[in-house]
Structure 1
């Protein structure tokens, strides 16, 4: 996310914060952080402590679910949210691919429009599930979804832009359209020739879609 955050800050002259979720990147996760909603409340508290206003929350994949939960917190500091290939809801006939046992290379093969362009896993990468996937499951549970989330999204009262890579093999575009349909003030944009990680695969197209939406 760092490279795209730098691009976003440069082009929009905005302050962009890129937190590392507790438990990711080898960081500790406090015992009280047991779910996505709890993590969302932690970030809302952080916004209060930093006294930030007019905040747009942007999240990809798990971060998209987190952005939705932050929007549900109805913080006056949050003015909009962007969900990019988010997970978290359940859509009949369009299940999320179970990546719980995937290696980094397997996740990449499902996440890119052209897997041949995905960066090679670092030398010495483990063959089993990555530590970050294990940390992810610690927040989301094994299903990586909340059966009640889609129904709760009707309470979101800020504008939400849902963007989706059309070639996503983790959660397909029909899943993305269902995500947008569950949110009252939402728009939906498809990103062509893009998989699950637009900020890596087509960052200029993602930025263009964000700027076009205002």
Structure 2
């Protein structure tokens, strides 16, 4: 059964609409965390980063109760728009959504040709032996900065300085993420399914990420046929924010070759 996303989700968009589409999928921090990716890609691609249903005050219908549901919704949207050869770029749970989209597309003939390549940036979703995913929901703002950033002071946001609206959005985002990704932010079957990924895949990882370690990322890349793995120095869970030039140096040649 196809999942339909709510209409009029907010979108960060840049680039020529006539160009190849890049669907940029954000993580728990919301769409602002992937905005630099959108604007970087705009010179060569039509980059769009929708707000996932339930983030930043948007509605989340009961039909979207898992990462698989969200992936199905995005695939249906791409199919309805007649998209082909789309580049998927996902950060954190966005990487999980992207991989789930590829797996669903590989299993259903109607989605053939829609996805052309995938970039997974510090994506969660898999269970890797001896490399647990950090308990995101048990962390306060300081603890999250310590695990997610190479430079924790740069990533720390003091809750005392937030507006009531920002605080409400952050709490709502956390509830939505728990609802669709689960407390462990993983699908026990995902790692074993990754052998069915049938499009070129780049796995990009911050060397200082302690939410999901580089060893975790290498295990994910190893499970995907032909996947490339690139580690970004002096960067954590969001390398495109901490070390953008090094991140673009990894992503740009991969996309140019495809």
Partner of 1:68: 99
Identify the match of residue 235 of structure 2 among 194, 201, 204: 194
What is the aligned residue count? 211
Q: Which residue of structure 2 aligns with residue 156 of structure 1?
A: 197
Contact 2:38 2:49 in 1 (8 A): yes
Cα distance in 1 between the residues matched to 2:77 and 2:247:
26
Secondary structure at 1:57 match in 2 = strand
Range moving further from structure 2, 111-120 or 15-24 = 111-120
Following superposition, the deviation at residue 9 of structure 1 comes to 1.1
Q: Which moved more, 1:111-120 or 1:93-102?
A: 111-120
Return the structure number with greater relative CO, CA threshold 8 A, min gap 6: 1
Deviation at 1:213, TM superposition (A): 1.8
DSSP 3-state at the match of 2:50: coil
> What is the aligned partner in structure 1 of residue 176 from structure 2?
135
CA distance in 2, matches of 1:174, 1:130: 30
Q: In structure 2, how many angstroms separate the alpha carbons of the residues matched to 1:64 and 1:168?
A: 15
Partner of 2:49, secondary structure, is: coil
Tell whether the 8 Å contact from 2:121 to 2:204 is kept in structure 1 after alignment: yes
| Structure 2 contact 88–118 (Cα < 8 Å) conserved | yes
Please list, as runs of the form range in 1=range in 2, the aligned pairs for 1:26-175 lying within 5 A after superposition: 26-74=57-105, 75=111, 76-118=113-155, 120-121=157-158, 122-124=161-163, 126=167, 130-175=171-216
Alignment of 1:9 with 2:42, yes or no, is yes
RMSD value over aligned CA atoms? Answer: 1.7
Give me the whole-angstrom Cα distance separating, in 1, the residues matched to 2:230 and 2:218: 9
The separation in 2 between residues aligned to 1:198 and 1:150, in whole angstroms, is 23
TM-score normalised by the chain length of structure 2: 0.77
Give me the TM-score of the superposition, normalised by structure 1. Answer: 0.92
1:120 deviates by 3.1
The alpha carbon displacement at 1:90 in A equals 0.6
**Any stretches of 5+ residues in structure 2 without a counterpart?**
1-33, 106-110
Gaps of 5+ in 1: none
* Residues 180-206 of structure 1: CA deviation (Å, up to 9, x unaligned): 011113111111111001121112211
Label 1:181 to 1:160 Cα distance change in 2 as closer, same or farther (>3 A).
Answer: same
* Range 110-119 or range 145-154, more displaced: 110-119
